[in-house]
A and B are shown apart, each in its own frame.
Chain A
Amino acid sequence: MTLLITVFAAVISTVIWYKGAPENEMKTGILCWMFWGASIMWFVDAIFEYKELGAEYFTPAPLDMLNDAFLGLSVVALGLIVWLVYLLIKDPKGAVRKALAKKK
């Protein structure tokens, strides 16, 4: 479930990046690399788990599934926070700098 949610996040962020490319003003490229990187790593994890459990891997207990979904959503939230911090630090539109200059 975590893998599935992360793959969806990776696909959605790639589509959003493509829509804004090549300007990439919102720095969404970072989200693509992050979610794709994590998806590949969890895919390997899934292969090893499948090797251990067999077909049982595809029929998880409801409680495990719920926990994995909760984890997946938390991972996406964490990824979005990392992106937001990166965006505000890089400030490609200069909005933060302008706002700070206005205060002075």
Chain B
Amino acid sequence: MACFTVPVAEAIVTTIVAKAVKSKEEKQHINLNGANTEIKESGKTPFSKKLGWLNKMLWLGSFLLAFEHLWHGEVIPTFPFLTAVKTGEVSEMLGEMATAGVMMAMLVTLVWAGIVAVVTVMEKKADKEPEIAEENA
């Protein structure tokens, strides 16, 4: 009915958060350079980029889902845009959003968290490897 609107709502929030995190990271980078501090290249993926992965999954995934809703006639190109609102099935629609919609957003976020966890572990391992090689030499 309108389950894809929940991931869209999450995508709006995460996009704003990602922009804020990115500007904070850029400020930190400028401060470090301004202080003439020696920056050690760690090769770690910035958190704003990791948030970008979640944004892409949420925005693009819900875009395809919106197309499916359009295909099934659940979304219409004219106001009020949702067939459920037009036919007075608002409570049913809200129920589906609260169950399927919330679960969709949660599962996408959970998968993203898993990817971020794996990437973080891999980066830590890669950071440690040169140190171990130096110790062994």
Footprint of B on A, CB under 8 Å?
A: 2, 6, 30, 33-45, 47-48, 71, 74-75, 78-79, 82
Residue of B3, B57, B67, B111 contacting most chain A CB atoms (<10 Å): B57
CA gap between A16 and B136 in the complex, in Å? 37
Query: Provided the pairs A44-B104, A48-B99 are in contact, do residues A37 and B67 lie with their beta carbons within 8 angstroms?
Result: no
**Cβ of A40 and Cβ of B63 under 8 Å apart?**
no
Query: Chain B interface mostly helix, strand, loop or mixed?
Result: helix
Query: Chain A interface mostly helix, strand, loop or mixed?
Result: helix
List 30 interface pairs A-B (beta carbons < 8 Å), by A numbering.
Answer: A2-B68, A6-B64, A33-B56, A34-B56, A34-B57, A36-B57, A36-B61, A37-B56, A37-B58, A37-B60, A37-B62, A37-B64, A38-B61, A39-B61, A40-B61, A40-B107, A41-B65, A41-B107, A41-B108, A42-B65, A42-B68, A44-B100, A45-B3, A45-B100, A45-B104, A47-B103, A71-B68, A75-B64, A79-B64, A82-B60
